[in-house]
Structure 1
């Protein structure tokens, strides 16, 4: 994607949007807009977490929006989200980013102050977490139904792992974002809008926390059900062994080829031995029933 930029003049401030700038142009961007070079460098660093820094003439803010497809198997912050760096003061708002964001394309020009535009962008970035939260919650419900009402073997342990990992990473990212948002200061007129953002952020964190807890419970339930099925198989094999062990013992004795075995010469020895085996099997069966093993 090629580098591009645009400027939009509002009544009392200007918004400058720079998309995918070249690294070799970092120094020029810093000098042109009187910004700190290392902050510009941070704005292009892949995987940089949200942060806030207050300078003498402007504030520096990095936030991340959820940009991954909701069904992607992502396991790190870089694949899950993309960031926007904000350099803002009363006179200007500068946004620097690599990925394209739809809400940056068509921005109305009815914002009075620069902080109003900033809060609008923050609100839109938080909105990107809504659909993934709903998808993960619905996926949890489907997995739960499959485990308890259908065939648990259709559940993929790998899917459970990716769902849990994605939820955990997103929750941590939102918690870091919450800490950053709490450091932002706005004028008295914008405090209500900022508080609305904080409330929305808290709601998202609680939502992802609930999904993460459910994912952990589902994983434990899946492992328990799987272990129970294995135990049932072992139990069945043990019961068969308990029946056949004494019968095999009797058959083994009379399978020995010693000459001095009087029972071998009995006319009804074969039927007598079979009778003993049946009696032993019946006794074992009733003992298992009494102990509620079968």
Structure 2
């Protein structure tokens, strides 16, 4: 999981485009789907100069870009579609929070896609940005991934209503696919939290507490990622009400309302899971305290048993010449027997008082 830290060197100027992510080794590649209800054309690995040849503004166009390290390539796409430089800067700056922005002829949306990382407790983060402009949806991904594989298949096989809808519906199902990753991540975290809760009931190893705090950080990170997404989806309502920007059809706003409801459900689930983590943490400290009390009780009982024995040994250890029983033939055995009886008597007394 990446943490965002403020650095003066990272304070980028709008005209100074720089990719701030970690996936700098991925080559920039582009894929284009041109479709309507009757046909679909798919193009791969072509140049920006070929846009006029392949893009058909009479149909729906989905331009998907993988890899953001080639700044000049991103600039050329921005110049072709007349995208403002500050939007390109937001696409390349992966430290920005999720947001939706409505301009005169462009709807810009960026989102963080989260997934668990292998067998570790970390979370993989990728920023994905979307632009809707004149029947064209452009998606920018930091690296090639399989988030949208099933959507490509739906386009190819004409499954569902995606080919009969405009690009705003395509944006909806792309966002929905990304939000499914949140469910996968939360479910993975919940499985690990359940294991931690069971483990905390069996052991008081400090490593358990470290893992609890790690997953608490993960849930906080998930929450920080979903809250701006919730706000952005809610802000789409204002786009519906202003009656100015028509990139989203009125009948499709209900789909984005569903996404907003999903974000609320995700936040509620995170709050519930964080409560479970808090309970596990409290149980761990209670178990630690109980274990410490048991140890202290045992040591106290042992100390209490040896106090009278130490007193007897101290008395008979004094070097007085006329000490009683000093020359008694069975003095040693008598004293040892008395000490043994004292120990047995104290143990019986403690047992009756249920001190252990």
2:31 equivalent in structure 1: 6
Distance in 2 (CA, whole Å) between partners of 1:68 and 1:140 is: 14
Give the 5 Å matches for 1:30-109.
30-69=78-117, 71-74=119-122, 80-105=124-149, 106=152, 108=155
| Alpha-carbon spacing, 1:196–1:54, altered in 2? closer, same or farther (3 Å) | same
Q: What's the RMSD between the two structures over aligned residues?
A: 2.5
Unpaired segments of 5 or more residues in structure 1? none
Q: How does 1:204-215 map to 2 (within 5 A)?
A: 204-215=266-277
Distance in structure 2 (CA, Å) of the matches to 1:221 and 1:100: 43
Q: How far 1:67 sits from its partner (Å)?
A: 3.1
Summarize the Cα distance change of 1:134–1:163 in structure 2 as closer, same or farther, 3 Å threshold.
same
Task: Identify the structure with the greater helix proportion.
Answer: 1
- DSSP 3-state at the match of 2:325: helix
* Residue number in structure 2 paired with 1:238: 300
134 and 70 in structure 1: CA distance in 2 versus 1, 3 angstrom threshold? farther
- Could you list the per-position Cα deviations for residues 169-214 of structure 1 after superposition, in whole angstroms to 9, with x for gaps in the alignment? 1122112211111112443211221222122222222222222211
Question: Shift of the alpha carbon at 1:218?
Answer: 0.9
Check whether the contact 1:119–1:193 (CA below 8 A) recurs between aligned residues. yes
Give the alignment of 1:46-195 within 5 angstroms. Answer: 46-69=94-117, 71-74=119-122, 80-105=124-149, 106=152, 108=155, 110-148=163-201, 150-151=202-203, 153=205, 156-184=208-236, 185=239, 186-195=248-257
TM-score in terms of structure 1 length: 0.87
- Give 5+ residue unaligned stretches, structure 2: 1-25, 37-58, 156-161, 240-247
Query: Equivalences for 1:218-229 in 2 at 5 Å?
Result: 218-229=280-291
**Equivalent position SS for 2:282:** helix
CA distance in 2, matches of 1:249, 1:280: 12
Report the TM-score when normalising by structure 2.
0.73
The answer to whether the Cα contact below 8 Å between 2:115 and 2:184 also exists between their aligned partners in 1 is no
Deviation above 6 Å: which 4+ runs of structure 1?
none
Structure 1 stretch 254-263 or stretch 171-180: which is displaced more? Answer: 254-263
Partner Cα distance (1:111, 1:209) in 2: 39
| CA contact 1:50–1:177 (8 Å) conserved in 2 | yes
Q: For 1:28, what is the secondary structure of its paired residue?
A: helix
Contact residue 30 and residue 37 of structure 1 kept, 8 A: yes
